[in-house]
Structure 1
């Protein structure tokens, strides 16, 4: 199980944002629209509605890109040390992103 958090933050120029962080790993500041899109993409992959092998997003307010390779047992988020998320975690992350995205 990986440690990740989803929190509401404020960007000095862009205003309200949603921060997705992976413990000591990467962090991403997302607009509400980006968080909603990522939440729907993660849910679609989890539910088998999207046959993609990667979930990718380049958030406007982040220095890095979110890239998650789809595996049979979940998603592996690209980082110096890849972060493995099981499907239950993917569900929880999608729900947390969607809740803050509105």
Structure 2
């Protein structure tokens, strides 16, 4: 994983396909492709300042780990209980959104 995150898509028997998000030092998060698209749009909205939200939260159906990110002036802070927080600058957060969009098709 060269950057802060890695995203892969693999077939799944029940959900068709899942996008698996790996963030440095945190538990895996598995999104359906629709969930990946929703999180991507939420990141885009806060990154472009078109949304005043201060948190992005999703409990993916196929994952044991929620996606919980605090919106800060310089980017996102992704929180995972009993794991180190992962700080994404706005360019990194935008890269994550683009990867999630691509995964969702």
- Does TM, scored on the shorter chain, surpass 0.5? yes
State the superposition RMSD in angstroms: 1.5
In the TM superposition, residue 4 of structure 1 has moved relative to its aligned partner by 0.5
Q: Scaled by the length of structure 1, what TM-score is found?
A: 0.93
The answer as to whether partners of 2:69 and 2:77 remain within 8 angstroms in 1 is: yes
The number of equivalent residue pairs is 102
Counterparts of residues 25-36 of structure 1 (less than 5 Å): 25-36=26-37
Where in structure 2 are there 5+ consecutive unaligned residues? none
1:37 aligns with 2:38: yes
Matched, 1:100 2:90: no
Structure 1 segments, 4+ long, off by >6 Å, are: none
Aligned counterpart, 1:16 = 17
What 5-or-longer segments of structure 1 have no aligned partner?
none
- Output aligned runs, 1:60-75, within 5 Å: 60-75=61-76
TM-score with structure 2 length normalisation? 0.90
**C-alpha displacement of 1:9:** 1.6
